[in-house]
Structure 1
Amino acid sequence: MRVEIAVQDTAGAAIAYDAGAVRSELCVALPLGGLTPSIGVIRQIRSTVPGLSLHVLIRPRPGGFVYSPAELELMANDISAAADEGVAGIVVGVLTGTGGVDGGAVETLRQAAPQLEYTFHRAIDHTPSPLAALDAIAAAGFTRVLTSGGAPTAGQGVATLQSMVATGSGLTILAGGGVTIDDLPALAAAGISEVHLSAKSIHRPSGSGVPLGASDTEGTSYQVTDPVQVAAVIDQANRLG
């Protein structure tokens, strides 16, 4: 079983690479579900950890996956800029107003850098049926789909994940969403070959600060990639084959 680690900075990317992660998804603002990172951090990771297969999340804002023409233009520009930095792949997803996969939009975005590998992210879990959405994603030329099987967590969505694997869509079903080390045996038994998790902990420096937003309750704490969690998950995944 292969492990993808979601990271938010260069230190996290180095931890993932050193532990043997198959790739990293780079984003910022994980508490918001992840947003597009800056070109600066992409460039720094490519320079510091050149051997890491780096896939960049393209999501311009939180709150749904239906985008305006201006937002889609921004996303295409971000994809092109990330490609210029030598990333291996892009993680993106767009839905229609009725909740289906917007095949035309994602195909247009993919053409911004068609040489890269594309993952459709957990927008699929906002569709009426993640299982039914696979055909449109495959038709748009994507390689894999990150999904919890439409459940709050991948552990709760094992049955749907197993059905998604069984469709023979040609897509790699990347199980993600609240994945823990304890979920790995059940996911492996369901035929899942790749899992995605952030393996994070909270860094709390001494002192206090003024909260800067609704999700910033302490003013000084922030999330970091936990090397102990990453190592343990990858070790368990390797044991599962």
Structure 2
Amino acid sequence: MSHTIEIAVQDVAGARATLEAGAQRVEVCSALITGGLTPSIGTIEAIVEAAREADARNFVHVLVRPRPGGFVYDADEIRTQVRDIRAAIMAGANGVVVGALSPNGEVDRVATEQFVAAAQGLEVTFHRAIDASANPIDEIDTLADLGVTRILSSGQAARSRDGIPVLQEMVHRAAGRIQIMAGGGVTVEAIPALFSAGVDAVHLSARHTVGATDPSGPGGGGVGHDATDAKLVRYAVEAAG
């Protein structure tokens, strides 16, 4: 059985590093420090182009999240996400990553239906909003019925490894109707145990900080930025077996 590794990336360099290391999929986003937000169309198009050059199939999945914070959205925010889903698909994305909850902590069925419809048959991942829901196990049935492809979850733990009992319960409840992908605080060392729990894929960011310079130097200096660590991606792929 092939084990899928998905890497959260913020730029073309991260996507290229992921391709070169042999990971199967990226989640394209911006502002990972906030948990991830919708990326620019230019970023999506450039990563799609890099994937096509590498002949990578079903590689580019785009996060659609309009702001940091909770996952209860008003009508304007939902309409914005629908537009962003359509734009991402027009830019060549293979799938989208979404999530919305109602004020009572259940999956927002109406919003999710709109997201799935806007995806026009492409893959839809419901992100870690599931971990903020009142009952993530029961929500698996809802998401499967709505046509969602997979669920990203840490098993409601800060680190996916600590959420393995819940992830195993999710896998059992999914029963092949919908994929379960582990993500959240994932280390390379935890990857074998996560796959042993029965998940279909493991998601991680594999980041390190680069570019910190003397703040008095040219270009403003001083503050580094997060970038995909190609070595960590390679280790993750190797750990997946």
- Counterpart of 1:196 in structure 2 is 203
Which amino acid is the alignment partner of residue 230 of structure 1?
V
Q: What secondary structure is seen at the aligned counterpart in 2 of 1:111?
A: helix
The 5 Å alignment of 1:207-226 reads 207-208=214-215, 220-226=223-229
From 53, 56, 62, the equivalent of 1:56 is 62
Higher helix share: 2
What is the deviation of 1:83? 0.6
Q: What secondary structure is seen at the aligned counterpart in 2 of 1:170?
A: coil
Worse-superposed segment, 200-209 or 131-140: 200-209
Kindly indicate whether residue 192 of structure 2 is the aligned counterpart of residue 185 of structure 1: yes
Which amino acid is the alignment partner of residue 89 of structure 1?
G
What is the deviation of 1:186? 1.6
- Counterpart of 2:77 in structure 1 is 71
From 145, 150, 161, the equivalent of 2:151 is 145
The 8 Å contact of residues 195 and 202 in structure 2, kept in 1 or not, is answered as no
Unaligned stretches of 5+ in structure 1? 210-217
Which amino acid is the alignment partner of residue 139 of structure 1?
D
The 8 Å contact of residues 131 and 156 in structure 2, kept in 1 or not, is answered as yes
Kindly indicate whether residue 38 of structure 2 is the aligned counterpart of residue 32 of structure 1: no
Cα distance change on mapping 1:78 and 1:219 into 2, 3 Å:
farther
The 8 Å contact of residues 129 and 150 in structure 1, kept in 2 or not, is answered as no
From 41, 45, 48, the equivalent of 1:46 is 48
Find the aligned partners of 1:219 and 1:141 in 2 and give their Cα distance.
46
- Counterpart of 1:90 in structure 2 is 96
What is the deviation of 1:18? 1.4
Kindly indicate whether residue 136 of structure 2 is the aligned counterpart of residue 115 of structure 1: no
The 8 Å contact of residues 61 and 94 in structure 2, kept in 1 or not, is answered as yes
TM-score of the two chains, using structure 1 as the length reference: 0.92
What is the deviation of 1:136? 1.1
Find the aligned partners of 1:138 and 1:219 in 2 and give their Cα distance.
47
From 150, 165, 183, the equivalent of 1:176 is 183
- Counterpart of 1:231 in structure 2 is 234
Q: What secondary structure is seen at the aligned counterpart in 1 of 2:118?
A: coil
Unaligned stretches of 5+ in structure 2? none
The 8 Å contact of residues 134 and 169 in structure 1, kept in 2 or not, is answered as no
TM-score of the two chains, using structure 2 as the length reference: 0.92
Find the aligned partners of 1:115 and 1:164 in 2 and give their Cα distance.
24
The 8 Å contact of residues 138 and 169 in structure 1, kept in 2 or not, is answered as no
What is the deviation of 1:115? 2.1
Which amino acid is the alignment partner of residue 197 of structure 1?
L
Find the aligned partners of 2:136 and 2:49 in 1 and give their Cα distance.
37
Find the aligned partners of 2:222 and 2:108 in 1 and give their Cα distance.
38
Which amino acid is the alignment partner of residue 226 of structure 2?
Q
Which amino acid is the alignment partner of residue 122 of structure 1?
R
Worse-superposed segment, 86-95 or 190-199: 190-199
Q: What secondary structure is seen at the aligned counterpart in 2 of 1:97?
A: coil
Kindly indicate whether residue 47 of structure 2 is the aligned counterpart of residue 12 of structure 1: no
| RMSD, matched Cα | 1.4
What is the deviation of 1:169? 5.6
Q: What secondary structure is seen at the aligned counterpart in 1 of 2:61?
A: strand
- Aligned residue pairs total 230
